[in-house]
Amino acid sequence: MTKFTKFMSLAMALTLAFAMTACGGSKAPEKEPAETEETQSEETQTEETEETEEAPEAETGDAGTEEAVVEDAEYSIAANLTDTMNEDGSRTIDTDYFTVTLPLGDTWEYEVNDEYSISFYNSAAKNNNCGGHLGTIAAVDPADTDYQNLPHYAEIGQMGGILYIIDYPTDVQADVSTEKNIEDYQTVFAEFGKIETEPENMPVILK
């Protein structure tokens, strides 16, 4: 991701949450004099017995962690993405994990930042170096609350153990050179705003 680096940290937090494992070791026994070999042998047998008894617990933990890492490695928020212009002028972006439909489909564009986020922009504002950011849909670990430090966000919902949020721009990033550009920006931004103000009418549907 280039523009919204904050989601890099969120993505890393998700990866690390799944990838954390516990590890440990024991110090090798020091060499004892020959006359204590029998005692050392008994101690070694005791240590081996303890390690054998603890083995099932360690194996279970490793297996569970490995499975979580595989699932995380395979996740991509834009998996099987399709982009469809509708007859009413709206436009639908559909992935394996959500569908979002926004009005004025020919006035905005999207950018896949990484495996965990997609940003939406007003095309005129972006092309004229005005920013144009309308919102970024991101997948985060619900157990990691770092996303709550974002200046302006709303929760879309949870699905499959993943929390989806939208990160709003902190200022209006419209191209104000024409009234049409301003209205186009405001219309699409207002639709994204329903995630926060009218969740029953939000433009995003999770799968």
pLDDT digits (tens, 9 = 90+) for 37-64: 444 545 545 454 444 444 444 343 333 3
Are 38 and 133 within one domain? no
Check pLDDT > 90 for residue 143: yes
pLDDT digits (tens, 9 = 90+) for 72-102: 668 999 999 999 999 999 999 999 999 999 9
Are 48 and 99 within one domain? no
Are 160 and 134 within one domain? yes
In which domain, by residue range, is 89 found?
76-206
Per the domain annotation, does 113 fall within a domain? yes
Are 169 and 122 within one domain? yes
Check pLDDT > 80 for residue 200: yes
Check pLDDT > 60 for residue 22: no
Among all chains, which residue has been given the structure tokens 């004099």? 33
CB under 8 Å, gap of 24 or more: what pairs does 61-68 form?
61/21, 61/22, 62/21, 65/18, 65/19, 65/20, 65/21, 68/18, 68/19
Are 166 and 133 within one domain? yes
Check pLDDT > 70 for residue 26: no
Are 96 and 64 within one domain? no
Are 101 and 184 within one domain? yes
Are 108 and 179 within one domain? yes
Integer Cα distance of 189 and 32 in angstroms: 75
Are 91 and 189 within one domain? yes
pLDDT for residue 72: 63
Contacts (Cβ under 8 Å, ≥6 apart) of 9? 146
